[in-house]
Amino acid sequence: MSDTAPLPIPAPRAPLAAPAEAPAPADASAPGRRRLGARDLTLMVAAAVLLVAALVAAAWAGVAFSGGTPVGGGSIGGRAGDSGAAGPVDGAVLAGDGDPSRDQDATGVAGGVVPDGTSAFDVDVPGLAGLDPRLLDALQRAATDASSDGVDVVVNSGWRSAAHQEQLLRDAVAQYGSAREAARWVATPATSAHVSGDAVDIGSWDATDWFSRNGASYDLCQVYENETWHYELRDGASRNGCPPMYRDPTEDPRMRA
């Protein structure tokens, strides 16, 4: 027997714990957890752009129509827009600003259709507001004096947009059967004195009769024999009288420009 104590037997070590497993990556195919790709982002941006464009278009529509419906059409020969003319459009240009180019694409009242019963002083109507300031002034002075003679002056047409004039020309071709015959009554947008704001059509027979006798005193002259309602400003007419009239617009050199 040995005189030395036996060495203690070491206790068995506990097995090492296995390292914690990293969480499994999310399943990209799981419902509701799909990652957004480049195509998704492109579609979202496109949708946002369309939404903004729609809001802008709606805002412009509100300004242009002011909550009303534009009215088109009109009869031929003196009265433009007898059918369904609406009231004045909010936000019209200031009276007699002489800038008929402001909206040459407009139709209805905004394009020059004049509501029934419009006077020379209804300057909130674009058809009056778009006239040359000198023409509007002469018209108002004449209307004031005509009223003193018991004659009410009604304006049937004044400034017209190019779009409105083009529609009147198409209507005239349909009514008269040919462009040649229509030209005796309606000018093209490029040659019309209405589009430039230099012509006014007077309504009612008593008013046209009064203007035929007194218009020259205000430099207002009938230009065409076949259009007793159509008046334009002619400088010097108050001193020298109005120049000879053309039989119809086809004889007017301005119509051949």
Of 1.10.357.140, 3.30.342.10, 3.40.630.10, 3.30.1380.10, the CATH number of 100-256 is 3.30.1380.10
Cα distance between residue 115 and residue 68, in whole Å: 14
Helices 205-214 and 133-148: angle between axes, nearest 10 degrees:
110
List, for residues 193-220, the tens digit of each pLDDT value.
Answer: 999 999 999 998 999 999 999 999 999 9
Three-state DSSP class for residue 134: helix
Average pLDDT over residues 98-110: 70
The mean of the pLDDT values for the chain is 75
Average pLDDT over residues 219-243: 97
- Model pTM? 0.62
Residue 14 in this model has a pLDDT that exceeds 60: no
**Higher per-residue confidence, 233 vs 3:** 233
Taking the domains of the chain in order of start, what are their residue ranges? 100-256
Cβ burial of 156 (10 Å; 0-12, 13-18, 19+) is buried
**Higher per-residue confidence, 94 vs 190:** 190
Residue 125 in this model has a pLDDT that exceeds 90: yes
Which pLDDT does position 104 carry in this prediction? 83
Residue 155 and residue 118 in contact, taking contact as beta carbons nearer than 8 Å: yes
Tokens of 224: 């065409």
**Higher per-residue confidence, 42 vs 31:** 42
Given the structure tokens 């909130």, which residue do they identify? 124
Three-state DSSP class for residue 157: strand
Residue 110 and residue 149 in contact, taking contact as beta carbons nearer than 8 Å: no
Given the structure tokens 């108002």, which residue do they identify? 140
DSSP for 197-246 reads T-EEEEESHHHHHHHHHHGGGGTEEE-BTT-TTEEEE-TTHHHH-PPPPB
List, for residues 244-256, the tens digit of each pLDDT value.
Answer: 999 999 999 999 8
Cα distance between residue 71 and residue 80, in whole Å: 12
